Chain A
Amino acid sequence: MIIRSADSGFQHPLPSEITPQGAYLGRREWLQRLALGAGGAALAGWASRDALAQAASARPNRLAALPGGRSGVAGAQTMEKLTSYLDASTYNNFYEFGTDKSDPAAHAQAMKTRPWTVAVEGLVNKPRTLGIEDLLKLAPMEERIYRLRCVEGWSMVIPWVGFSLAELIRQVEPQGSAKYVEFVTQADTAAMRDLRSRVLLWPYVEGLRMDEAMHPLTLLAFGMYGEVLPNQNGAPVRLVVPWKYGFKSGKSLVKIRFVDKEPRTAWNIAAPQEYGFYSNVNPDVPHPRWSQATERRIGEEGGLLAKRRKTERFNGYEAQVGQLYAGMDLKKFY
């Protein structure tokens, strides 16, 4: 039995349970037409309209299917409009393939994602190297609809498929001295054209505190939009930490290390005064060169003239993760 508390947050219905807007509008129109006495003809129109609305939310049919069941994790659903698959898979930061947003989609196909192994090592009782096939079977797949807030000031809403990182962590039995988790990502010089550049120190390394890594919202993702991840989004396996700026969510993971000291992360090494270890989404802590108070939601109604949204503390996940940082000065530990 799941006991809900104030910390569970608002329990959103599954997107599939929400009446499609087309059906909702169609029903009203149908009632109006009935009133006008044109019931028979309207019925056919309503049925086709509904079919259309369903098709719009179907998977993109680009890659292999990877369905996920409903997630019971608090905060794993949102009623916000999903970012289109096209936008989510063509507007990416994945510097190994180039620094332009369109570079990853253009060049990431060169990366081989099979065979693929992830080494789980460091301060654990049961270190192991898992093949991607074993990793996929480690726990049941769940669909999680998360907001993604980039440190650059834009955001998306993406239906990820995966399971909590905690499922994996429990299996390797971390030792008491393990305080942090370091995530090392792929650095394949043959496939990744920008590894030659000195934009960042390669391989790209990210890290979380142990309690952050164990939080149920921290997702080990294998898919999005009901399919396996496209390479540019971090295939075959990536991290998604929805309450932190996007760069904390490492892509194409090859190593997960349990360590006793705070890991030196790629952006922190490149510009320590700009990118802190925590990098929790926080509208009150501006980036030294821009405000973080607002964000541009990609694909927002209104296009060019759409207003920027107010950025929420912890990207709107404060109810779920706020207690991890109780008593911490978030301006100091940015």
Chain B
Amino acid sequence: MRWLGHPAAKPLAFGVYLLPLAYLFWAVWFDRLGANPAEALIRSLGDWALRALVLVLAITPLRVAAGWPQLARFRRMAGLFVFFYASLHWLAYAWFDMGLVWADIVADVPRRPFILVGTLAWLLLLALALTSFQHAIRRLGAARWRALHRAVYAVAVLAVLHFFWMRAGKNDQTEVLVYAAVLGALLLWRLRRFAASARTAAGGGR
């Protein structure tokens, strides 16, 4: 996996991350989003935010399990793309569903628990995005910064809950279960690793 360290790898990944957005622009322009384009756009942006979240949480397990240390340098960009698609998702809701009428949005968010949960997840992502730069790491100190950025696990739980509640009306949770299983597996891997390192620390050996 030497190519992961190639200078062009990161710009290439950046371009790939923008492909879903490019497709959506194309689909809006050429009217390919079906009878309810607003709904299709909002949902598609949510799907991509969730997929980006799966990707960013897969980086560390892949790096360790597959032995690809170069993956670490993609982490910040991958995380910021979660924030990017989540922000577009929220903005699309506020604009195309609520017409950017703030009074309506403020009334709507608490009424719909799934939107409240989604908004909370986005606020956490906002905090992580704002502290994603070297300067913030230095100011917070590495330990505090790492503790803060563990909030991404809470984002994963909130995002799945958001998706689950959204689909509750449909009574169809197949897709939700797929995301929950993948995110669950990624979190479980971390828990096991944490438990293993705790044992190592306590036992001073294997």
Number of interface residues of B (CB under 8 A): 24
- Asked if A152 is at the interface of the complex by the 8 Å CB criterion, the answer is yes
A291 to B96, CA, bound (A): 16
- Asked if A299 is at the interface of the complex by the 8 Å CB criterion, the answer is yes
- Asked if B34 is at the interface of the complex by the 8 Å CB criterion, the answer is yes
Task: Tell me how far the C-beta of A233 lies from the nearest C-beta in chain B, rounded to whole angstroms.
Answer: 13
A-B contact count (CB 8 A): 54
- For B169, give its contact among A90, A101, A289, A298 (CB under 8 Å): A289
Write out the residue numbers on chain A whose beta carbons fall within 8 Å of the beta carbon of B189. none
Within 8 A of B (CB), among A88-103: 90-91, 99, 101-102
Task: Tell me how far the C-beta of B25 lies from the nearest C-beta in chain A, rounded to whole angstroms.
Answer: 12
Report whether B171 and A199 are in contact in the complex, using a CB–CB cutoff of 8 Å.
yes
Task: Tell me how far the C-beta of B70 lies from the nearest C-beta in chain A, rounded to whole angstroms.
Answer: 39
A296 to B93, CA, bound (A): 13
Report whether B172 and A197 are in contact in the complex, using a CB–CB cutoff of 8 Å.
yes
Residue in chain A with minimal CB distance to B92 = A304
- Asked if B38 is at the interface of the complex by the 8 Å CB criterion, the answer is yes
- Whether A270 touches B171, Cβ cut-off 8 Å, given contacts A291-B108, A304-B41, A304-B96, is yes
Write out the residue numbers on chain A whose beta carbons fall within 8 Å of the beta carbon of B19. none
Residues 187-198 of chain A, each 1 if its beta carbon lies under 8 Å from chain B, else 0 = 000000000010
- For A199, give its contact among B97, B107, B170 (CB under 8 Å): B170
- Asked if B36 is at the interface of the complex by the 8 Å CB criterion, the answer is yes
- Asked if B64 is at the interface of the complex by the 8 Å CB criterion, the answer is no
A289 to B169, CA, bound (A): 9
Report whether A91 and B38 are in contact in the complex, using a CB–CB cutoff of 8 Å.
no
Write out the residue numbers on chain A whose beta carbons fall within 8 Å of the beta carbon of B15. none
Write out the residue numbers on chain A whose beta carbons fall within 8 Å of the beta carbon of B38. 296, 304
- Asked if A334 is at the interface of the complex by the 8 Å CB criterion, the answer is no
Report whether B36 and A298 are in contact in the complex, using a CB–CB cutoff of 8 Å.
yes
Write out the residue numbers on chain A whose beta carbons fall within 8 Å of the beta carbon of B28. 304
- Asked if B111 is at the interface of the complex by the 8 Å CB criterion, the answer is yes
Task: Tell me how far the C-beta of B174 lies from the nearest C-beta in chain A, rounded to whole angstroms.
Answer: 8
Report whether B112 and A290 are in contact in the complex, using a CB–CB cutoff of 8 Å.
yes
- Asked if A307 is at the interface of the complex by the 8 Å CB criterion, the answer is yes
Task: Tell me how far the C-beta of B105 lies from the nearest C-beta in chain A, rounded to whole angstroms.
Answer: 12
Report whether B37 and A154 are in contact in the complex, using a CB–CB cutoff of 8 Å.
no
Task: Tell me how far the C-beta of A186 lies from the nearest C-beta in chain B, rounded to whole angstroms.
Answer: 19
- Tell which of B28, B114, B169, B170 has the most Cβ of chain A within 10 Å: B169
- For A99, give its contact among B35, B96, B111, B172 (CB under 8 Å): B172
- Asked if B182 is at the interface of the complex by the 8 Å CB criterion, the answer is no
Write out the residue numbers on chain A whose beta carbons fall within 8 Å of the beta carbon of B170. 99, 199
A152 to B171, CA, bound (A): 13
- Asked if A72 is at the interface of the complex by the 8 Å CB criterion, the answer is no
Within 8 A of B (CB), among A284-316: 286, 289-291, 296, 298-299, 303-305, 307-308
Write out the residue numbers on chain A whose beta carbons fall within 8 Å of the beta carbon of B67. none
Report whether B34 and A90 are in contact in the complex, using a CB–CB cutoff of 8 Å.
yes
Report whether A101 and B108 are in contact in the complex, using a CB–CB cutoff of 8 Å.
no
Write out the residue numbers on chain B whose beta carbons fall within 8 Å of the beta carbon of A298. 35-36
- Whether A289 touches B37, Cβ cut-off 8 Å, given contacts A152-B169, A199-B172, is no
Report whether B168 and A91 are in contact in the complex, using a CB–CB cutoff of 8 Å.
no
Write out the residue numbers on chain A whose beta carbons fall within 8 Å of the beta carbon of B41. 304
- Asked if B90 is at the interface of the complex by the 8 Å CB criterion, the answer is no
A-B contact list, 27 entries, CB within 8 Å: A86-B35, A91-B36, A99-B171, A99-B172, A101-B35, A101-B36, A102-B34, A152-B169, A154-B36, A154-B39, A199-B171, A199-B172, A289-B113, A289-B114, A289-B165, A289-B169, A290-B111, A290-B112, A291-B108, A291-B111, A296-B38, A296-B39, A303-B31, A304-B37, A304-B38, A304-B41, A308-B99
The 6 A-B residue pairs whose C-beta atoms are closest, nearest first, are A91-B35, A87-B35, A99-B172, A199-B171, A298-B35, A99-B170
Interface residues of A (CB under 8 A from B): 86-87, 90-91, 99, 101-102, 152, 154, 197, 199-200, 270-271, 274, 286, 289-291, 296, 298-299, 303-305, 307-308
Give 14 new A-B contacts, CB below 8 A, not counting A102-B34, A152-B169, A289-B169. Answer: A99-B170, A99-B172, A101-B34, A101-B36, A154-B36, A286-B111, A289-B165, A291-B111, A298-B35, A304-B38, A304-B41, A304-B96, A307-B99, A308-B99
